[in-house]
Chains A and B, each alone.
Chain A
Amino acid sequence: EVQLVESGGGLVQPGGSLRLSCATSGFILSDYWMSWVRQAPGKGLEWVAKIQETGSEKEYVDSVKGRFTISRDNGKNSLYLQMNSLRVEDTALYYCARYSAYHLDYWGQGALVTVSS
């Protein structure tokens, strides 16, 4: 059974940093592109970033470029999102999701990040 479990969320002050982790199981992580998608409270889904199977290719939404870094450790079956210079508008539930071709076929339950002073 495919499982994605996010962790590392919490409350952080503006300008601070946080690192999200996504533990995966039930499939071979190195066979898949992976992604982070976020959802602000009461708002819609926003695609954040994606990473190629070996980590050699990465893509980000413009609003997080230069502040967020997506990475992975296939040996540890884990995906990460390092978030620096956090802003109030980054407050959201962050989902880890698996790509199958050009769509997201499995999603985690999300990790809540709250940026507030």
Chain B
Amino acid sequence: SQQGEEDPQALSIQEGENATMNCSYKTSINNLQWYRQNSGRGLVHLILIRSNEREKHSGRLRVTLDTSKKSSSLLITASRAADTASYFCATDPDRGSTLGRLYFGRGTQLTVWP
């Protein structure tokens, strides 16, 4: 399967704590993306990391990529109740292609308690 797999499936933390989610995948990738989904809504793109990058930051988000281990992690620092959502990693396996196919994992359900 080309899909990523997130770990853990569910994560429950208090406001102010950091949340770390992991993603493993099986094929070579062009890039890896993280998306967020609020219950019953569409997905929202959060951050993208290319295969030649190892770490990237965007606000309270930090993503790392280890292509030798075929894994990525998403860290949300100083979490807020509004961060409660499902988080998905998606892999783009098509190097040099504009097809734009993405393959998603099953997601991590993050709950942040006030």
Q: Do A and B bind each other?
A: no
